[in-house]
Structure 1
Amino acid sequence: MTSRRRFLQAAALGAGAAALPSVALRATEAGAGAARVVSTWDFGVGANAAAWGVLGAGGTALEAVEAGARWAEADLCNPTVGRCGNPDRDGVLTLDASIMDGDGRCGAVAALEDIAHPVSVARAVMEKTPHVMLVGDGAQQFALEQGFEKTPLLTDGAREAWHEWRRESRYEPKINVERDRIQRSRPGDSHDHDTLGILALDAQGRLAGACTTSGMAWKLHGRVGDSPIVGAGLYVDNEVGAATASGVGEEMIRNAASFLVVELMRQGRSPMDACREAIDRVVRKRPEASRRLQVCFLALNRDGEVGAFALHEGFVYALHDGGAGPHERLHDAGAIYSEGVR
């Protein structure tokens, strides 16, 4: 554990971002077989930079996604991920995470309190237990036994936002809260569903992925979304590709969404087409709900092709392949519903 921590701490952190319109990128743009890493949302740029520090040093895709997720959990201060996450409606901050290797190994934790790096606990679950998921007090007990430190994570800002929310105690998920800069600046607004999902392909052709989140703000205590559920928020298969999701987790769970995206790629669809078909399925099952909620998918196939699609416009993803220029920036995903068509 100690040597891995030191290795991850040496990963590069932080990067600037500039939006660039695109819905799919192919490996031929950066050279077939090139390593690459993709992440959800604006903060994916920083996560990718941390992951690329691992890939560029010859590390594996699994090590890279862990490094990217750890950056989001500790160095990013976002109300939907890690130490700055907003709490549930009882004022308790709980964290969820999963990690999956392309060979089928996976681990997850849910409703974890006071542990700074749930993604690394998830990896320890994968590597040191016969289980896939640990939750709540059991997950914390395991983390402490593995040498993780117990640290209060609820920030003053998150506590203030919770007190502000309690004035009305109204639970109302919003669409694309990560990109809503105006709302983000106001205490109490519901930044509630912007998971960090990260996928990587290393130079040896191995795939891996990770998800980490503090879940929906003001959720019922004990609620678990899709991020730690393998097949819903994350799925990886070296033979095919990898997929991750962001948005309202209940919709991903209902559709086994990330597994669905990978299986659609197995049938021959491109990553973008697979993401679009998965979105279409969400709409067909719950057409009225789909107009009020955001659901986003990001996929990477074994050939390095990337695709993304969302219910509502505004979902962006970050891509890093080591090249100069646009491949280190943000890309807009396609969407079914555009602004004003809801």
Structure 2
Amino acid sequence: MTGADTQIAMPAEDLEDLYENAPCGYLSLQPDGRIVKVNRTLSTWIGIPAEQLLGKRLHDLLNTSGRIFYETHFAPLLRMQGFFNEVALDLVTVDSKKLPVLANAMERRAEDGALLFTRVTMFQAAERRRYERELVEARAAADAAGATIKAKLAFEQQTAELREEFIAVLGHDLRNPLASISAAARILRKEKQTDRAIKVLDLMQGSVVRMSALIDNVLDFARGRLGGGITLERRAEHLEPLLRQVIEELRFSHLDRAIEVTIEFDGPINCDSGRIGQLVSNLLGNALTHGAPDEPVRLSAATVDGKLELWIANGGAPISTEAMTGLFQPFFKGEAGTSQRGLGLGLHIASEIARAHGGTITVSSDDKETRFTFVMPLD
């Protein structure tokens, strides 16, 4: 006999044992709904001998809510279509515990349509019920979390709107008195004044320039954090007059400092000139603040090979490696122990303006000089 002809000897299937000890519960109902046959599996589950179950109705094995549900939903469904599948029921065991099951039922009828009996199978469903319950609880928790998140988003939106209103009020209410102070200082500066008065007026004018720059930085930073970022209004403009105006404003507020300027542009430059002026003001103000007071601050701006290259250099102590890592971060305060004026936003705003123009700002620093370089492609 070859291997292909070999067959495993199987014992004859015992249909009675298959019925009695099946992995599911079996019962049969006569037309009046009384149990006429039940297998050992089901009787073992509920702890009631099979002979004691005979003559009972199916709803007698259910808890109160299950009886109501069975009589009002499942029994009519069975009578109407002759079967039902995966109906969730709760059997009551001999010790009054609840046994969750899933029931399937099918009627058997004679040729003339008369009901002969109804076969019912039941499968234990405790694990499935627990899973379904956990799923429902998880969904309810997710819905609650979603509602919480939605409420938080609504609150954040309302807060953002209030912040925007605050920013608008801040810009308006601070700029107007500064403009009045600046105008008054210029008027008095034109009149005959003592040397001391002239010095005080110059200090006032310098403070106005610095305060205006602080307001610009705060507003831009706040808008950026609210999601607006740095906004640009680009157009082709001659940039040199604006740069020289910014330089003169800072020179006027730092009368004791030397600023050396070289500007070589081929023609108009497509950019937001106001933002570029703000960038230069921040970089130049930073150099005047931190540079050696006895050395000049140098500024160079030129168009070279399809790019705008602008750098500002100052003498003095080099920037440490540790400080380099956070130089362009908001609220950066520089070296520990150094005297700081401002909020630490100037370099951050300058870098954001450069990025909005598609450009970059880099920095190099050694014992000879510290140089910030802005490079922007020319469209």
What is the TM-score with the length of structure 2 in the denominator? 0.23
> With CA pairs under 8 Å and 6+ residues apart, which has the higher RCO, 1 or 2?
1
- Report which of the two structures shows the higher radius of gyration computed on alpha carbons: 2
What is the TM-score with the length of structure 1 in the denominator? 0.25
